[in-house]
Amino acid sequence: MITLSALPPPGPRDAAAADPLRHAAQELETIFLAEMLKSAGLHDTPDMFGGGAGEDQFQSLLVRAQAEQMVRSGGIGLAESLYHALKDT
């Protein structure tokens, strides 16, 4: 299981709300990380909560929330790289 730390204090990361390009870059990093978490097997938790179609749906939401938290905590640098590459064009 992944342990997530507390949110960082408000700062440059909050600039994403005012900058649509930064927000889009962070959203892309979130999607990328969610797919990587699924590929790593974190999405596969058979019968963790009793099974069923509902568990599959909510498990995907959990993976998405974990990826969002990772991006808010600094991510892997993909969003920043994309942002700087695209803002110069």
> What is the token pair recorded at 31?
């999607």
What is the distance between the alpha carbons of residues 37 and 3, in angstroms, rounded to a whole number? 13
Query: For residue range 30-69, what is the model confidence (pLDDT) as tens digits?
Result: 999 999 998 887 656 565 566 677 777 788 888 999 999 9
Distances (CA, A) of 72 to 48, 59, 88: 27, 20, 23
What is the model's pTM? 0.69
